Amino acid sequence: MKQILVILILTMCTMTANAQDENFYVFLSFGQSNMEGHAKFEEIDTKVDERFQVLQAVDCDNLQRKMGQWYSAAAPITRCHTGLGPSDYFGRELVENLPSHIKVGIINVSIGGTKIELFQKDDYQSYVDTAPDWLQNMVKEYDGDPYGRLIEMAKLAQKDGVIKGILLHQGESNTGDQTWPSKVKGVYDNILMDLELEENSLPLLAGEMVSAEQGGKCASMNTIIATLPQVIPNAYVISSTDCEAVDDGLHFSAEGYRELGKRYGIKMLSLLKSPSSY
């Protein structure tokens, strides 16, 4: 009898230790270089509220981070030598405006220069096989399958918290592709299916390319991005108007990323429950 009691107590302790925290809001983030983080981060970007966490998607000895573990979300939050991106200030905006008992987690799997095809669950390999060496080398950091790594990390995160939304910034490499919204929908649907979530249950926030006013070379893609909510009912477009860009016409400055990330956060806050209901 005593032995059975000990087993029951140990089982209950294990269940408690692994219990999902409904006050831990997790967000998935993916895309190409602007989501990966292109700007050099500054000291201010390495200081962050401990309530904002990143689930490391690759091993980074230089950051003393191991894949699959949570850390304070100080830049860089994508890979070992990436820069500042919108996800950094998305998380900051949330923890600043959510009740103090709510934590925020981010998982960022992004690769500069890639088309949306890299995240197509069943067809990505044919895209990788024809990609240039530099892109293939970045893909290898995710063991050859960035989408698979995103899902792997998301399933780990589901043991700790609740996935509340998806952030996307991608499109430069698909500029002019009228089928881009349907391709994004395919990725979105697969994410929800693989995580055993209901259809259209997560908001998808998609950021615009650098605007024409800022000299954006891919600004024409914004008219295609604008149609995404017609394909995904729970999709929302985040404006890049007045978000400062750099001279290459493709990437935002650090200040531009801070503003864009804040806009992602403001939109997500409007989609979450009102503070009085927490």
List residues with catalytic annotation: 33, 248, 251
Cross-strand pairs, 105:
26, 53
Q: Where are the alpha helices (DSSP H) in the chain?
A: 2-17, 33-36, 86-97, 124-129, 133-140, 146-160, 180-194, 222-225, 228-231, 254-271
Distance CA(100)–CA(66), nearest Å, equals: 27
Distance CA(81)–CA(62), nearest Å, equals: 9
Closest to 141 measured CA to CA, from 176, 111, 107: 111
**DSSP codes, 59-110:** -BGGGTB-TT-EEE-PSP-SSTT--B-HHHHHHHHHHHHS-TT-EEEEEEEE
Distance CA(151)–CA(37), nearest Å, equals: 20
Tokens (6 digits) for 134: 């530099």
Distance CA(103)–CA(90), nearest Å, equals: 13
Chain-centroid distance of CA 213 in Å reads: 26
HSE-CB of 136 using CA atoms within 13 angstroms: 9
Neighbours of 103 (CB within 10 A): 21
